[in-house]
């Protein structure tokens, strides 16, 4: 499948997934006592409110072109939160930080269930086979992308979600310096994406394994046309 076709399949799935990730952060923060995202109009599904020029547009495009459609990763504009508003600071910080990856896990599982349902309907209505095959391809990408988003966001490099859990596992003095490292986090992440191939692959390996297990489980329900539209 050529790069342009991959973009057409991947873009809406990735956009929905990263928006759901950020929405989950904002909703969890609201439930923990912080209305910041809600008050600033960020607790919304409107994609315009969540688009970040680098993470949502530039990074995915560069990765898709550079890898000839074999790899894509991106993110949305971070939802603003104020941890000082949480009713219980530490508990709230951890819950809000993990809300995004929890949403991505739910989407990945939901995509697997949807592949089964679409396959059953597609076999019952052969005339819609092409449409349902394309939908299954997008759902397959939904599994891969959301599991990769989970693994990526759990990398313990500030300001990623994993760092908000890691800091509580460190001695207080180390945690202060660790959080201060956030100012260089984006630079480190970009360097990791471009130069840390083997390290990043090893970190992502569990996500690949879970995705493979889910896809094997739903494979009996995959329509024949998926091979035509799916990644080669």
Distance of alpha carbon 19 from alpha carbon 11, whole angstroms: 12
Rounded (5°) CA angle 198-13-15: 90
Q: Which of 22, 34, 93, 161 is catalytic?
A: 22
Closest alpha carbon to 166 in 148, 185, 144: 185
Cα 161 to the chain's mean position, in Å? 12
22 catalytic? Reply is yes
Cα 52 to the chain's mean position, in Å? 14
Distance of alpha carbon 100 from alpha carbon 102, whole angstroms: 5
Backbone angles phi, psi at 120, to 5 degrees: -65, -45
Q: How many CA atoms does the CB half-sphere of 212 hold within 13 Å?
A: 6
- Residues annotated as part of the active site: 22
């Amino acid at each position: 499948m050529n790069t342009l076709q991959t973009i057409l399949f991947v873009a809406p799935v990735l956009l929905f997934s990263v928006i759901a990730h950020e929405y989950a952060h904002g909703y969890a923060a609201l439930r923990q006592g912080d209305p910041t995202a809600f008050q600033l109009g960020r607790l919304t599904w409107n994609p315009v409110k969540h688009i970040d020029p680098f993470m949502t547009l530039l990074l995915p495009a560069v990765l898709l072109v550079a890898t000839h459609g074999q790899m894509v990763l991106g993110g949305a504009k971070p939802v603003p939160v104020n941890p000082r508003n949480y009713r219980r600071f530490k508990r709230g910080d951890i819950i809000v930080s993990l809300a995004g990856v929890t949403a991505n896990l739910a989407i990945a599982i939901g995509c697997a269930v949807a592949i089964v349902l679409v396959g059953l309907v597609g076999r019952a209505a052969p005339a819609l086979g092409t449409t349902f095959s394309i939908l299954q391809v997008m759902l397959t990408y939904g599994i891969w992308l959301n599991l990769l988003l989970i693994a990526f966001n759990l990398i313990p490099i500030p300001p990623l979600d994993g760092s908000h859990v890691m800091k509580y596992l460190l001695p207080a003095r180390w945690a202060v310096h660790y959080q201060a490292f956030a100012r260089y986090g984006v630079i480190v992440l970009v360097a990791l994406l471009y130069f840390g191939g083997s390290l990043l692959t090893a970190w992502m390996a569990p996500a690949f394994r879970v995705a493979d297990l889910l896809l094997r489980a739903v494979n009996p329900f995959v329509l024949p046309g998926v091979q035509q539209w799916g990644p080669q």
